[in-house]
Amino acid sequence: MKRKKIKGFKCPCCQIHRHETEMKDAIGILEKIEKKNHPRIKNLNIIGFFKDAQFEWACDECLSLKKAMTANPSAQIYSWHPHISYFDEKKNCQFCKKDFYFSKNEKRFWYEQLKFQLDATPANCPTCRKEKRNKKQIHDNLSEYLKNGKENLDYATLENIIQIYRIWDKEDKVKYYQSLLKNKNPKKK
């Protein structure tokens, strides 16, 4: 008679219940971290950390099939437990309402390169985030142009300001800065 495999923990990547024998990589990584953080504790109950885990991990099968990738916990900033693997996560953009994936590679970049906190996740898709960054850059440029007063603006700067106001559909501002531009000679520096 075959013995039934005891259900363990649901892999957050594939959503399949896995026995601890199917999560050796994840357990091994977490065990190393915990032994380093708590060297005096001899018998750590590592498997207990996977119950309602607030960190990302993946079963051995997901890692071997490349659905998930192993993380580098020493490169992360965390308060309780680090992510020990990353996998693609489907999200919904708050701005355009379209679905997008927060990819395992992007997660690695966020948490290990940029050093974002592990609970930080994108609220918007990459396209909307890029658009938002571009708008912010335009605002920053305009602020930089105008910080020394309108009377100190050169010809090229006035052209840039006019272009920004055209993008924003601010015709009254376009006309005003065009009138200032007429008083400037492009050959004078």
Share of the chain above pLDDT 70, in %: 94
In a domain, 189, yes or no: no
Q: Give yes or no: residues 14 and 97 share one domain.
A: yes
More confident residue, 79 or 117: 117
Quick check: 154 and 173 in contact, CB under 8 A?
no
Q: Give yes or no: residues 109 and 173 share one domain.
A: no
The range of the structural domain enclosing residue 163 comes to 128-182
**How many domains does one find in the chain?**
2
Contacts for 37 with CB less than 8 Å, ≥ 6 apart? none
Q: Give yes or no: residues 85 and 172 share one domain.
A: no
CA pair distance 160, 148, nearest whole angstrom: 15
The two tokens of residue 157 are 């700067």
The two tokens of residue 185 are 């000679």
Q: Provide the whole-model pTM.
A: 0.74
**pLDDT single digits (tens) 123-179:** 999 999 999 999 999 999 999 999 988 878 888 999 999 999 999 999 999 999 999
In a domain, 27, yes or no: yes
Q: Give yes or no: residues 31 and 46 share one domain.
A: yes
In a domain, 3, yes or no: no
